[in-house]
Amino acid sequence: MLSDFKKFILRGNVVDLAVAVVIGAAFGAVIAAFVADLLTPLIAAIFGKQDFSSLSFTVNHSKFRYGSFLNSLIAFVIVATVVFFAVVVPLTAFMRRLNLIPKDEAEPEKRDCPECLSEIPVEARRCAFCTAEVGVGTPSSD
């Protein structure tokens, strides 16, 4: 059983995932520091509020601290933007270049069923929704 555990731990996927989690946590810390130390003061210079984390309001003696949430939200948007433009877009372009992803898969032309008005393929001879015979048709104008 111990040897199976060793094989599992040393499997490439587990090690890759562990590295990704550690790097992701470090990247998150860098982005959080960027937001707290550089972006928030920049916004504060424009709008006059120095520290978002102290922003709050009170309702019936309950204090709602929304400033810290604002910092986290800004950090999340920055991380998502960086991941999208630095990882997803280049990887998708690379995979398309290798023809692993079709460039633009054309959707089959559709038309409306004359009986139930559901959208069906142009080549259909029977409606999949109401089973009416529809014969050969032309695409609907959407």
Mean pLDDT value across the chain: 80
Which CATH number is 2-97's, of 1.20.58.190, 3.40.50.460, 1.10.1200.120, 1.20.20.10? 1.10.1200.120
50, pLDDT greater than 70: no
Question: Are 64 and 57 within 8 A, CB to CB?
Answer: yes
Domain boundaries, the chain: 2-97, 106-142
106, pLDDT greater than 70: no
This model's pTM is above 0.95:
no
In order of 1, 15, 17, 22, 135, the CA distances from 9 in angstroms are: 13, 7, 11, 16, 59
Question: Are 79 and 28 within 8 A, CB to CB?
Answer: yes
Sign of CA dihedral 57, 59, 61, 65: negative
121, pLDDT greater than 80: yes
% of the chain beyond a pLDDT of 70: 87
Nearest-angstrom CA–CA distance, 81 and 47:
24
